[in-house]
Amino acid sequence: MIVFRGGTVVDYESDTLDILDVFVEKGKIAKLARNDQFPAEGDFEIIDITGLHVMPGFIDLHSHLREPGYEWKEDIESGTKAAAAGGFTSVVCMANTDPVNDNPEITRYIIEKARKKGLVKVFPVASITHKLEGKELTDFGELLESGAIALSDDGKPVMNSLIMMRAMDYSKMFDALLILHEEDAGLSEGGCMNEGDTSAVMGLTGVPAVSEEIMISRDILLAEYTGARIHIAHLSTKRGIDLIRDAKKRGIRVTAETAPHYLTLTEREVLGYNTKAKMNPPLRKEDDRKALLEAIQDGTIDCVATDHAPHEELVKSCEFEEAANGIIGFQTAFPLLLEALEGGSDNIKTLVKLLSYKPALLLNIDAGSIQEKKSADLAIVDVNARYTFTEDMILSKSKNSPFIGWKMRGKVKMTVVNGKIVYRDNQVNDS
Protein backbone atom coordinates (compact mmCIF):
# COMPACT_ATOMS: atom_id res chain seq x y z
CA MET A 1 0.00 0.00 0.00
CA ILE A 2 1.18 3.54 -0.80
CA VAL A 3 0.00 6.54 1.15
CA PHE A 4 0.24 10.01 -0.33
CA ARG A 5 0.40 12.05 2.87
CA GLY A 6 -0.35 15.64 3.58
CA GLY A 7 -1.54 16.86 0.19
CA THR A 8 -4.70 18.82 -0.52
CA VAL A 9 -7.18 16.61 -2.35
CA VAL A 10 -9.19 18.41 -5.02
CA ASP A 11 -12.23 16.58 -6.27
CA TYR A 12 -14.98 18.15 -8.32
CA GLU A 13 -17.53 15.37 -8.10
CA SER A 14 -17.58 15.22 -4.30
CA ASP A 15 -16.87 18.94 -3.96
CA THR A 16 -13.74 18.29 -1.93
CA LEU A 17 -10.88 20.66 -1.26
CA ASP A 18 -9.27 19.33 1.87
CA ILE A 19 -6.02 17.99 3.29
CA LEU A 20 -6.47 14.23 3.12
CA ASP A 21 -4.19 11.22 3.00
CA VAL A 22 -4.75 9.06 -0.05
CA PHE A 23 -4.28 5.33 0.49
CA VAL A 24 -3.63 3.40 -2.69
CA GLU A 25 -3.78 -0.37 -2.96
CA LYS A 26 -3.91 -2.73 -5.95
CA GLY A 27 -4.27 0.18 -8.34
CA LYS A 28 -7.31 1.58 -6.57
CA ILE A 29 -7.92 4.31 -4.06
CA ALA A 30 -8.41 2.28 -0.88
CA LYS A 31 -9.16 5.05 1.55
CA LEU A 32 -9.19 8.79 2.03
CA ALA A 33 -8.47 9.82 5.59
CA ARG A 34 -7.82 12.87 7.67
CA ASN A 35 -4.29 13.30 8.85
CA ASP A 36 -5.14 12.75 12.52
CA GLN A 37 -6.73 9.42 11.66
CA PHE A 38 -3.47 8.03 10.33
CA PRO A 39 -3.00 4.44 11.56
CA ALA A 40 -0.04 3.91 13.82
CA GLU A 41 0.87 0.64 12.23
CA GLY A 42 0.56 -1.05 8.88
CA ASP A 43 2.50 -2.11 5.85
CA PHE A 44 2.72 1.01 3.78
CA GLU A 45 5.10 3.20 1.89
CA ILE A 46 4.58 6.84 2.82
CA ILE A 47 5.11 9.56 0.26
CA ASP A 48 5.06 12.99 1.81
CA ILE A 49 3.33 15.49 -0.45
CA THR A 50 2.74 18.26 2.05
CA GLY A 51 2.07 21.55 0.29
CA LEU A 52 1.01 19.89 -2.98
CA HIS A 53 -2.42 19.35 -4.49
CA VAL A 54 -3.72 15.91 -5.43
CA MET A 55 -6.04 15.97 -8.42
CA PRO A 56 -7.75 13.20 -10.35
CA GLY A 57 -5.35 12.42 -13.21
CA PHE A 58 -6.01 14.63 -16.21
CA ILE A 59 -7.82 13.17 -19.20
CA ASP A 60 -7.03 14.55 -22.61
CA LEU A 61 -10.02 14.25 -24.89
CA HIS A 62 -8.07 15.30 -27.93
CA SER A 63 -4.55 14.39 -28.96
CA HIS A 64 -2.55 13.05 -31.86
CA LEU A 65 -0.08 10.32 -30.93
CA ARG A 66 0.87 9.87 -34.61
CA GLU A 67 1.18 6.10 -34.41
CA PRO A 68 0.85 4.26 -36.72
CA GLY A 69 2.34 6.07 -39.67
CA TYR A 70 4.07 9.19 -38.44
CA GLU A 71 6.39 7.78 -35.80
CA TRP A 72 9.07 10.37 -36.52
CA LYS A 73 6.70 13.03 -35.16
CA GLU A 74 5.58 11.07 -32.12
CA ASP A 75 4.73 7.54 -31.09
CA ILE A 76 2.67 6.01 -28.34
CA GLU A 77 5.70 5.65 -26.10
CA SER A 78 7.04 9.20 -26.45
CA GLY A 79 3.57 10.71 -26.52
CA THR A 80 2.45 9.01 -23.34
CA LYS A 81 5.70 10.02 -21.60
CA ALA A 82 4.97 13.64 -22.44
CA ALA A 83 1.38 13.11 -21.31
CA ALA A 84 2.54 11.68 -17.99
CA ALA A 85 4.82 14.67 -17.49
CA GLY A 86 1.79 16.88 -18.02
CA GLY A 87 -0.28 15.11 -15.38
CA PHE A 88 -2.40 13.20 -17.89
CA THR A 89 -3.31 9.67 -16.91
CA SER A 90 -5.58 9.05 -19.89
CA VAL A 91 -5.28 10.32 -23.44
CA VAL A 92 -7.69 10.03 -26.31
CA CYS A 93 -5.88 9.81 -29.63
CA MET A 94 -7.41 10.86 -32.92
CA ALA A 95 -7.86 8.68 -35.97
CA ASN A 96 -5.84 10.63 -38.54
CA THR A 97 -2.95 8.21 -38.49
CA ASP A 98 -1.57 6.38 -41.54
CA PRO A 99 -3.40 4.14 -42.15
CA VAL A 100 -6.39 5.94 -40.70
CA ASN A 101 -7.94 4.26 -37.69
CA ASP A 102 -10.98 3.27 -39.70
CA ASN A 103 -10.92 -0.47 -39.05
CA PRO A 104 -10.72 -2.71 -35.98
CA GLU A 105 -7.20 -3.92 -36.86
CA ILE A 106 -5.78 -0.45 -36.37
CA THR A 107 -7.82 0.14 -33.24
CA ARG A 108 -6.51 -3.09 -31.76
CA TYR A 109 -2.96 -2.27 -32.84
CA ILE A 110 -3.06 1.04 -30.97
CA ILE A 111 -4.53 -0.56 -27.87
CA GLU A 112 -1.96 -3.37 -27.92
CA LYS A 113 0.93 -0.97 -28.49
CA ALA A 114 -0.30 1.24 -25.67
CA ARG A 115 -0.52 -1.76 -23.36
CA LYS A 116 3.13 -2.58 -24.06
CA LYS A 117 4.69 0.85 -24.43
CA GLY A 118 2.22 3.34 -23.04
CA LEU A 119 2.94 5.09 -19.79
CA VAL A 120 -0.64 6.26 -19.39
CA LYS A 121 -3.99 4.93 -20.54
CA VAL A 122 -4.66 5.36 -24.23
CA PHE A 123 -8.13 5.50 -25.75
CA PRO A 124 -8.19 5.45 -29.53
CA VAL A 125 -10.86 7.29 -31.49
CA ALA A 126 -11.96 5.63 -34.73
CA SER A 127 -12.90 7.63 -37.78
CA ILE A 128 -16.48 8.37 -38.77
CA THR A 129 -15.79 7.76 -42.45
CA HIS A 130 -13.33 5.60 -44.35
CA LYS A 131 -9.97 7.32 -44.82
CA LEU A 132 -11.52 10.50 -43.41
CA GLU A 133 -12.95 11.09 -46.84
CA GLY A 134 -16.40 12.02 -45.61
CA LYS A 135 -18.05 9.55 -47.96
CA GLU A 136 -18.75 6.16 -46.36
CA LEU A 137 -19.33 5.33 -42.72
CA THR A 138 -16.92 3.02 -40.91
CA ASP A 139 -18.15 -0.03 -38.99
CA PHE A 140 -19.11 1.86 -35.83
CA GLY A 141 -20.20 -1.24 -33.96
CA GLU A 142 -17.10 -3.32 -34.60
CA LEU A 143 -14.81 -0.40 -33.94
CA LEU A 144 -16.46 0.35 -30.62
CA GLU A 145 -16.35 -3.34 -29.69
CA SER A 146 -12.64 -3.37 -30.54
CA GLY A 147 -12.08 -0.60 -28.06
CA ALA A 148 -12.64 2.66 -29.89
CA ILE A 149 -13.80 5.19 -27.33
CA ALA A 150 -15.53 7.59 -29.72
CA LEU A 151 -15.77 8.45 -33.39
CA SER A 152 -14.25 11.42 -35.16
CA ASP A 153 -12.92 12.55 -38.53
CA ASP A 154 -10.82 15.12 -36.65
CA GLY A 155 -8.60 17.14 -38.94
CA LYS A 156 -11.34 17.19 -41.52
CA PRO A 157 -15.01 18.10 -41.44
CA VAL A 158 -17.70 15.73 -42.68
CA MET A 159 -18.91 18.13 -45.34
CA ASN A 160 -21.82 16.13 -46.71
CA SER A 161 -24.78 16.83 -44.43
CA LEU A 162 -26.50 13.60 -45.36
CA ILE A 163 -23.46 11.55 -44.32
CA MET A 164 -23.32 13.51 -41.07
CA MET A 165 -26.98 12.83 -40.42
CA ARG A 166 -26.51 9.14 -41.14
CA ALA A 167 -23.52 9.04 -38.77
CA MET A 168 -25.61 10.64 -36.05
CA ASP A 169 -28.58 8.37 -36.59
CA TYR A 170 -26.39 5.26 -36.71
CA SER A 171 -24.37 6.26 -33.63
CA LYS A 172 -27.51 6.34 -31.48
CA MET A 173 -27.86 2.59 -31.14
CA PHE A 174 -24.40 2.47 -29.54
CA ASP A 175 -24.85 5.79 -27.71
CA ALA A 176 -21.46 6.59 -29.24
CA LEU A 177 -19.87 9.99 -28.86
CA LEU A 178 -19.21 11.83 -32.11
CA ILE A 179 -16.35 14.31 -31.80
CA LEU A 180 -16.71 16.92 -34.50
CA HIS A 181 -14.09 19.03 -36.21
CA GLU A 182 -16.15 22.00 -37.34
CA GLU A 183 -15.01 23.75 -40.45
CA ASP A 184 -16.65 24.48 -43.78
CA ALA A 185 -14.06 23.26 -46.26
CA GLY A 186 -15.18 25.76 -48.90
CA LEU A 187 -14.98 28.77 -46.59
CA SER A 188 -11.61 27.66 -45.25
CA GLU A 189 -10.02 26.87 -48.59
CA GLY A 190 -6.46 28.12 -48.79
CA GLY A 191 -6.76 29.73 -45.37
CA CYS A 192 -3.82 29.62 -43.00
CA MET A 193 -4.72 32.04 -40.19
CA ASN A 194 -7.79 33.76 -38.78
CA GLU A 195 -9.46 36.03 -41.32
CA GLY A 196 -9.38 39.55 -39.99
CA ASP A 197 -7.37 42.76 -39.88
CA THR A 198 -4.13 40.89 -39.20
CA SER A 199 -4.53 38.56 -42.18
CA ALA A 200 -5.48 41.58 -44.33
CA VAL A 201 -2.24 43.33 -43.46
CA MET A 202 -0.09 40.22 -43.71
CA GLY A 203 -1.49 39.24 -47.09
CA LEU A 204 -2.46 35.78 -45.91
CA THR A 205 -5.66 34.00 -46.86
CA GLY A 206 -7.88 33.77 -43.82
CA VAL A 207 -10.12 31.15 -42.30
CA PRO A 208 -13.15 33.14 -41.20
CA ALA A 209 -14.74 32.41 -37.82
CA VAL A 210 -17.98 31.80 -39.68
CA SER A 211 -16.42 28.72 -41.32
CA GLU A 212 -16.40 27.07 -37.89
CA GLU A 213 -19.70 28.55 -36.74
CA ILE A 214 -21.71 27.52 -39.75
CA MET A 215 -20.77 23.86 -39.17
CA ILE A 216 -21.39 24.03 -35.43
CA SER A 217 -24.76 25.41 -36.31
CA ARG A 218 -25.47 22.65 -38.83
CA ASP A 219 -24.43 19.90 -36.45
CA ILE A 220 -26.45 21.30 -33.56
CA LEU A 221 -29.49 21.25 -35.82
CA LEU A 222 -28.73 17.70 -36.91
CA ALA A 223 -28.14 16.58 -33.31
CA GLU A 224 -31.46 18.10 -32.34
CA TYR A 225 -33.14 16.34 -35.25
CA THR A 226 -31.49 12.94 -34.69
CA GLY A 227 -31.02 12.94 -30.91
CA ALA A 228 -27.36 11.94 -31.28
CA ARG A 229 -24.64 12.80 -28.78
CA ILE A 230 -22.10 15.22 -30.22
CA HIS A 231 -19.00 16.89 -28.86
CA ILE A 232 -17.55 19.98 -30.54
CA ALA A 233 -13.77 19.77 -30.77
CA HIS A 234 -11.40 22.72 -30.30
CA LEU A 235 -13.98 25.48 -30.10
CA SER A 236 -12.36 28.80 -30.95
CA THR A 237 -14.98 31.46 -31.65
CA LYS A 238 -17.32 33.67 -29.67
CA ARG A 239 -20.33 33.04 -31.87
CA GLY A 240 -19.64 29.30 -31.71
CA ILE A 241 -19.93 29.53 -27.92
CA ASP A 242 -23.26 31.34 -28.22
CA LEU A 243 -24.58 28.59 -30.48
CA ILE A 244 -23.59 25.89 -28.00
CA ARG A 245 -24.89 27.79 -24.98
CA ASP A 246 -28.23 28.15 -26.71
CA ALA A 247 -28.30 24.49 -27.81
CA LYS A 248 -27.60 23.32 -24.27
CA LYS A 249 -30.49 25.42 -22.99
CA ARG A 250 -32.73 23.69 -25.46
CA GLY A 251 -31.62 20.30 -24.16
CA ILE A 252 -29.68 19.20 -27.21
CA ARG A 253 -26.99 16.63 -26.40
CA VAL A 254 -23.99 18.76 -27.24
CA THR A 255 -20.78 19.28 -25.31
CA ALA A 256 -17.66 21.22 -26.20
CA GLU A 257 -13.98 21.53 -25.57
CA THR A 258 -11.45 24.24 -26.19
CA ALA A 259 -7.66 24.10 -26.02
CA PRO A 260 -5.27 25.98 -23.71
CA HIS A 261 -3.80 27.96 -26.61
CA TYR A 262 -7.14 29.48 -27.53
CA LEU A 263 -7.38 30.70 -23.93
CA THR A 264 -3.94 32.27 -23.91
CA LEU A 265 -2.99 33.39 -27.44
CA THR A 266 -4.56 35.43 -30.23
CA GLU A 267 -3.96 35.85 -33.95
CA ARG A 268 -1.33 38.50 -33.12
CA GLU A 269 0.98 35.60 -32.30
CA VAL A 270 1.21 34.91 -36.02
CA LEU A 271 2.84 38.28 -36.77
CA GLY A 272 6.25 37.83 -38.33
CA TYR A 273 4.90 34.71 -40.06
CA ASN A 274 5.47 32.63 -36.93
CA THR A 275 4.68 29.06 -37.96
CA LYS A 276 4.71 27.93 -34.32
CA ALA A 277 1.43 29.79 -33.96
CA LYS A 278 -0.16 28.11 -36.96
CA MET A 279 -2.96 25.71 -36.16
CA ASN A 280 -6.45 24.72 -37.21
CA PRO A 281 -8.76 26.25 -36.13
CA PRO A 282 -6.51 29.28 -36.18
CA LEU A 283 -5.83 31.51 -33.20
CA ARG A 284 -8.64 34.05 -33.16
CA LYS A 285 -9.14 37.56 -31.78
CA GLU A 286 -9.02 38.92 -28.25
CA ASP A 287 -12.85 39.03 -28.12
CA ASP A 288 -12.98 35.31 -28.88
CA ARG A 289 -10.35 34.59 -26.25
CA LYS A 290 -12.30 36.51 -23.63
CA ALA A 291 -15.52 34.76 -24.56
CA LEU A 292 -13.79 31.38 -24.22
CA LEU A 293 -12.57 32.34 -20.75
CA GLU A 294 -16.14 33.20 -19.78
CA ALA A 295 -17.43 29.98 -21.32
CA ILE A 296 -15.08 27.79 -19.28
CA GLN A 297 -16.33 29.57 -16.16
CA ASP A 298 -20.03 29.37 -16.97
CA GLY A 299 -19.90 25.74 -18.08
CA THR A 300 -20.74 26.21 -21.76
CA ILE A 301 -17.38 24.62 -22.42
CA ASP A 302 -17.22 21.25 -20.71
CA CYS A 303 -13.56 20.43 -20.97
CA VAL A 304 -10.16 21.62 -22.00
CA ALA A 305 -8.25 19.29 -24.30
CA THR A 306 -4.76 19.82 -25.67
CA ASP A 307 -5.11 18.98 -29.37
CA HIS A 308 -1.51 17.85 -28.89
CA ALA A 309 -0.28 17.81 -32.50
CA PRO A 310 3.41 17.01 -32.81
CA HIS A 311 5.26 18.07 -35.96
CA GLU A 312 8.93 17.90 -36.77
CA GLU A 313 10.90 21.12 -37.30
CA LEU A 314 11.06 20.56 -41.06
CA VAL A 315 7.35 21.08 -41.68
CA LYS A 316 7.32 24.21 -39.51
CA SER A 317 10.53 25.69 -40.91
CA CYS A 318 9.10 26.87 -44.20
CA GLU A 319 6.77 29.33 -45.88
CA PHE A 320 3.88 30.15 -43.50
CA GLU A 321 1.15 29.02 -45.85
CA GLU A 322 2.97 25.72 -46.45
CA ALA A 323 3.62 24.99 -42.77
CA ALA A 324 1.84 22.19 -40.94
CA ASN A 325 -0.99 23.00 -38.54
CA GLY A 326 -0.79 22.28 -34.84
CA ILE A 327 1.24 22.51 -31.66
CA ILE A 328 2.19 20.10 -28.90
CA GLY A 329 0.30 20.59 -25.66
CA PHE A 330 0.57 17.88 -23.01
CA GLN A 331 3.18 19.55 -20.85
CA THR A 332 1.83 23.08 -21.00
CA ALA A 333 -1.89 22.40 -20.51
CA PHE A 334 -1.94 22.47 -16.73
CA PRO A 335 0.01 25.70 -16.11
CA LEU A 336 -1.74 27.47 -18.99
CA LEU A 337 -5.19 26.51 -17.76
CA LEU A 338 -4.26 27.48 -14.23
CA GLU A 339 -3.29 30.89 -15.54
CA ALA A 340 -6.44 31.16 -17.65
CA LEU A 341 -8.61 30.43 -14.61
CA GLU A 342 -6.80 32.81 -12.31
CA GLY A 343 -9.09 35.17 -10.48
CA GLY A 344 -12.18 33.02 -10.97
CA SER A 345 -13.94 31.57 -7.95
CA ASP A 346 -13.12 27.96 -7.12
CA ASN A 347 -10.52 27.99 -9.86
CA ILE A 348 -8.74 24.83 -8.72
CA LYS A 349 -11.97 22.87 -8.65
CA THR A 350 -12.96 24.30 -12.03
CA LEU A 351 -9.63 23.14 -13.40
CA VAL A 352 -10.32 19.62 -12.16
CA LYS A 353 -13.77 19.74 -13.71
CA LEU A 354 -12.34 20.78 -17.09
CA LEU A 355 -9.32 18.48 -17.16
CA SER A 356 -10.56 15.42 -15.27
CA TYR A 357 -14.16 15.14 -14.20
CA LYS A 358 -16.04 16.15 -17.36
CA PRO A 359 -13.80 14.28 -19.81
CA ALA A 360 -14.29 11.08 -17.77
CA LEU A 361 -18.02 11.65 -17.75
CA LEU A 362 -18.14 12.18 -21.52
CA LEU A 363 -16.07 9.08 -22.18
CA ASN A 364 -17.81 7.07 -19.49
CA ILE A 365 -14.54 5.77 -18.03
CA ASP A 366 -13.49 4.91 -14.48
CA ALA A 367 -11.51 8.07 -13.84
CA GLY A 368 -11.93 11.75 -13.18
CA SER A 369 -12.52 11.74 -9.46
CA ILE A 370 -10.74 10.85 -6.23
CA GLN A 371 -13.01 8.54 -4.30
CA GLU A 372 -12.68 5.18 -2.64
CA LYS A 373 -12.68 2.19 -5.03
CA LYS A 374 -11.92 4.42 -8.01
CA SER A 375 -8.81 3.82 -10.10
CA ALA A 376 -5.80 5.44 -8.50
CA ASP A 377 -5.12 7.86 -11.36
CA LEU A 378 -3.65 10.99 -9.84
CA ALA A 379 -1.91 14.19 -10.80
CA ILE A 380 0.03 15.64 -7.91
CA VAL A 381 0.86 19.25 -8.59
CA ASP A 382 2.55 22.28 -7.13
CA VAL A 383 0.31 25.22 -7.98
CA ASN A 384 2.92 27.73 -6.84
CA ALA A 385 6.01 26.45 -8.64
CA ARG A 386 7.39 29.11 -10.96
CA TYR A 387 9.70 28.32 -13.82
CA THR A 388 10.45 29.06 -17.44
CA PHE A 389 9.25 26.46 -19.92
CA THR A 390 12.27 25.44 -21.98
CA GLU A 391 12.76 23.18 -24.96
CA ASP A 392 14.82 20.67 -23.00
CA MET A 393 11.79 19.96 -20.77
CA ILE A 394 9.81 18.65 -23.74
CA LEU A 395 9.46 14.87 -23.77
CA SER A 396 7.61 14.68 -27.09
CA LYS A 397 9.66 13.81 -30.14
CA SER A 398 8.54 17.11 -31.64
CA LYS A 399 9.20 20.50 -30.12
CA ASN A 400 6.59 22.62 -31.89
CA SER A 401 5.38 24.76 -29.03
CA PRO A 402 4.80 28.52 -29.11
CA PHE A 403 5.18 28.52 -25.32
CA ILE A 404 8.92 27.85 -25.19
CA GLY A 405 10.40 30.64 -23.10
CA TRP A 406 7.14 31.38 -21.29
CA LYS A 407 7.14 31.99 -17.57
CA MET A 408 4.81 29.43 -16.05
CA ARG A 409 3.19 28.92 -12.69
CA GLY A 410 2.07 25.45 -11.70
CA LYS A 411 4.01 22.26 -12.20
CA VAL A 412 3.13 18.59 -12.22
CA LYS A 413 5.31 16.88 -9.61
CA MET A 414 4.00 13.35 -9.83
CA THR A 415 1.66 11.33 -12.02
CA VAL A 416 0.10 8.10 -10.82
CA VAL A 417 -1.62 5.61 -13.14
CA ASN A 418 -3.44 2.65 -11.58
CA GLY A 419 -1.49 3.24 -8.40
CA LYS A 420 1.88 3.25 -10.14
CA ILE A 421 4.03 6.35 -10.11
CA VAL A 422 4.85 6.87 -13.79
CA TYR A 423 6.32 10.34 -13.46
CA ARG A 424 8.04 11.96 -10.54
CA ASP A 425 10.18 15.08 -10.22
CA ASN A 426 11.04 15.46 -13.88
CA GLN A 427 11.71 11.74 -14.37
CA VAL A 428 9.50 9.27 -16.16
CA ASN A 429 9.34 5.80 -14.71
CA ASP A 430 8.93 3.42 -17.62
CA SER A 431 10.15 0.31 -15.86
Partner 1 sequence: MIESLRGKDLLGIKEMERDEIELILETAKSMEEIMSRDIKKVPSLRGKTVVNLFFEPSTRTRTSFEIAGKRLSADVINFTSTASSVKKGETLLDTARNIEAMKPDILVIRHSASGAPYFLSRKMNVSIVNAGDGKHEHPTQGLLDIYTLRKMRGSLEGAEVLILGDVLHSRVARSDIPALKKLGARVTVCGPSTLIPRWWQSLGVEATWDLDEAIRGKDIVIVLRIQLERMQSSYFPSIREYVKYFGLNRERFAKAREDAIIMHPGPVNRGWEISDELVDCEKSVVLQQVESGVAVRMAVLYLLSAVKEKTAL
Q: Minimum distance from CB of 314 to partner 1 (Å)?
A: 7
110 in Cβ contact with 76 (< 8 Å): yes
322 near partner 1 (CB under 8 A): yes
174 near partner 1 (CB under 8 A): no
- The catalytic position among 60, 75, 219, 307 is 307
Which of 203, 249, 425, 431 is close enough to bind partner 1 by CB under 8 A? 203
Counting every residue written for the chain, the total comes to 431
314 near partner 1 (CB under 8 A): yes
320 near partner 1 (CB under 8 A): yes
138 near partner 1 (CB under 8 A): no
Say what the alpha-carbon torsion angle 236, 125, 85, 82 is, to the nearest 10 degrees: -90
Q: Of 102-110, 191-199, 382-390, 423-431, which part binds partner 1 (CB under 8 A)?
A: 191-199
268 near partner 1 (CB under 8 A): no
Site string for partner 1, 68-107 (x = CB under 8 A): ----------------------------------------
Size of the site for partner 1 (CB under 8 A): 20
Q: In the complex with partner 1, which residue's Cβ is closer, 193 or 304?
A: 193
Q: In the complex with partner 1, which residue's Cβ is closer, 272 or 343?
A: 272
Q: Of 116-124, 128-136, 199-207, 292-300, which part binds partner 1 (CB under 8 A)?
A: 199-207
Q: In the complex with partner 1, which residue's Cβ is closer, 41 or 319?
A: 319
Which of 36, 43, 45, 319 is close enough to bind partner 1 by CB under 8 A? 319
- 307 flagged as catalytic: yes
404 near partner 1 (CB under 8 A): no
In whole angstroms, give the CA distance from residue 139 to residue 392: 42
Which of 68, 69, 147, 196 is close enough to bind partner 1 by CB under 8 A? 196
Q: Of 67-75, 197-205, 239-247, 388-396, which part binds partner 1 (CB under 8 A)?
A: 197-205
276 near partner 1 (CB under 8 A): no
Q: Of 86-94, 255-263, 311-319, 373-381, which part binds partner 1 (CB under 8 A)?
A: 311-319
200 near partner 1 (CB under 8 A): yes
263 near partner 1 (CB under 8 A): no
272 near partner 1 (CB under 8 A): yes
Q: Minimum distance from CB of 316 to partner 1 (Å)?
A: 11
In whole angstroms, give the CA distance from residue 377 to residue 373: 11
Cis peptide before 99 (omega within 30 of 0): yes
317 near partner 1 (CB under 8 A): yes
Q: Minimum distance from CB of 317 to partner 1 (Å)?
A: 6
In whole angstroms, give the CA distance from residue 78 to residue 95: 18
Q: Of 36-44, 313-321, 342-350, 377-385, which part binds partner 1 (CB under 8 A)?
A: 313-321
Where does this chain bind partner 1 (CB under 8 A)?
Answer: 195-205, 272-273, 314, 317-322
What positions carry a catalytic annotation?
Answer: 307
